[in-house]
Amino acid sequence: MATTDRRTFMLSAGASAAAFGLARQLAIIPSANAAALEDQGFYKFEIGDTEVITVYDGQWNKPHDPNFIKNASLEEVKAALEKAGKSSEHIEIPFTITIVRTGGRTIMFDAGTGAQLAPTAGRLAANIEAAGISTDEIDTVIVTHFHPDHIFGLMEKGTNAEIYPNAEIIVPEAEYAFWTDAGVMSRLPENRQGLAKRIQATFPKWSNLTRFEGEQEVTPGVVAIPAHGHTPGHTAFAIGDGNDQILVMADTTNIPALFVRNPGWHAAFDMAADEAEATRRTLFDRAIADKAIITGYHYGMPGAGRIEKDGSGYAFVPLA
């Protein structure tokens, strides 16, 4: 595994503001580039009193599908990938989990693929350990929405046994209500019905699962931001405020090369495309106004950075 210098360096308050739009000092573990961080498996930085660790769970090399983006052609998709310096042979969709240590707690947002999806995914457990975190330390798991790459890491393959039985699992009520509704099967395409069945076989039986509604503090220091559209209850989260703020954006967009640059593109994964577009524009504008750092589930390593306006779209500027 590639190694990096784990000594942290401190930016002066002035340099922090210039580089990252932060009011206080920011400590970052230096990294060479995204490929090195994927090999390392994690990335760490601090903002205020919060330590943030993004952890790599692998990626899915998605074959091209002309229906993947409803309002863009396959040629436009390939051109956007090439413009971003990425291969146009397929679409690389990485999985990156955000963990924060704050107030004496270790909080994980979503739980990864559980090695139950793409053949190159399932690295979360090993990379959490590489980051110096024991899975037993994770006392809270906050779920942004119920797509498989976000929740299958909560349950064992085959048995559905709970992987984090001693942690509080916090989920959006709107998301829970949709997937556990008795009539949901009639509203889902066939390829999503198995997911609903698995959710209904697990979540309602877990005594450590807590539901919340709307915009509220779901655990001390973490505020939910309804971000519906991708799914009926998709939720983003804010830690801190103002210039010392982290926004965990989950699937507000898929990969930046396509959907940050082109916020009006509608992905097949978004259940309500117009609502999802409105949500991402609102959250991106909020991140810019607040000079907040964001994390994105499909942004690849380091998984954290800032959003900037770029013509009719936006640009994602990674921290490393």
Q: What are the CA-CA distances from residue 226 to residues 137, 175, 233, 256 (Å)?
A: 27, 11, 7, 21
Q: What are the CA-CA distances from residue 129 to residues 109, 123, 138 (Å)?
A: 16, 10, 12
Question: Taking a C-beta distance cutoff of 8 angstroms, is the pair 198, 160 a contact?
Answer: yes
Q: What is the pLDDT along the chain (320 residues), one digit of tens a residue?
A: 333 333 332 222 233 333 444 433 333 333 347 889 999 999 999 998 999 999 999 999 999 999 999 999 999 999 999 998 899 999 999 999 999 999 999 999 999 999 999 889 999 999 999 999 999 999 999 999 999 999 999 999 999 999 999 999 999 999 999 999 999 999 998 989 999 999 999 999 999 999 999 999 999 999 999 999 999 999 999 999 877 899 999 999 999 999 999 999 999 999 999 999 999 999 999 999 999 999 999 999 999 999 999 988 999 999 98
Q: Where are the domains of the chain?
A: 51-318
pTM metric for this prediction: 0.89
> For domain 51-318, which CATH number applies: 3.20.20.210, 3.50.50.60, 3.60.15.10, 2.60.120.860?
3.60.15.10
- pLDDT in the model for residue 14: 30
Question: Taking a C-beta distance cutoff of 8 angstroms, is the pair 37, 29 a contact?
Answer: no
Helix axes of 190-202 and 173-180: crossing angle, nearest 10 degrees: 110
Question: Taking a C-beta distance cutoff of 8 angstroms, is the pair 239, 248 a contact?
Answer: yes
Q: Is 131 exposed, middle or buried (0-12, 13-18, 19+ CB in 10 A)?
A: middle
- pLDDT in the model for residue 6: 33
- pLDDT in the model for residue 242: 74
Q: Which helix (H) or strand (E) holds 75?
A: helix 74-83
| Strand, coil or helix: 260 | coil
